[in-house]
Amino acid sequence: MTVHSLLAVLLLATAGCASFGGSTYPVTSPTRPATDTPDRFMVGTLTPGGALSEPQAGGGCRNPMVDPRNATQLTLVQSQSSDRGGVGDYSVPDGRYGARSGELLRIDCATGRALGFVPRRG
């Protein structure tokens, strides 16, 4: 392989890596709605019987989020921040809110409102 060929291969490989983006947040829209969710999920604590608090704009995605009606805890798997608070994808107990295997519940982190299910990646 000539020096020019080697440089061309390296340049293409570098360009491919730069355009791939690595482990970027999945920007797919929710594929289907969730059922029987609360008006909004609350921010919980990891201690049993801990207090619940309101989600806050600019507060980021918190862990865990809790259904205030029955204390179901959702675990944050991945999130995307924004000026308004971002969205987080949470694992839910099997079957809860209509969850299917391989799905995460996307929540608006500023409001605690469920947006729908997205496929789990990886």
Q: Which of 72, 70, 115, 107 is nearest to 92 (CA)?
A: 72
Put the strands of the sheet holding 114-119 in their side by side order: 42-43, 65-66, 73-80, 87-91, 103-108, 114-119
The residue type of 48 is P
- Calculated CA dihedral for residues 103, 109, 114, 118, nearest 10 degrees: -20
Give the pLDDT of residue 16: 41
- Calculated CA dihedral for residues 104, 106, 110, 111, nearest 10 degrees: -110
pTM of the model: 0.73
* pLDDT tens-place string over residues 58-108: 888 999 999 999 999 999 999 987 666 699 999 999 899 999 999 999 999
Q: How confident is the model at residue 28 (pLDDT cuts 50, 70, 90)?
A: low
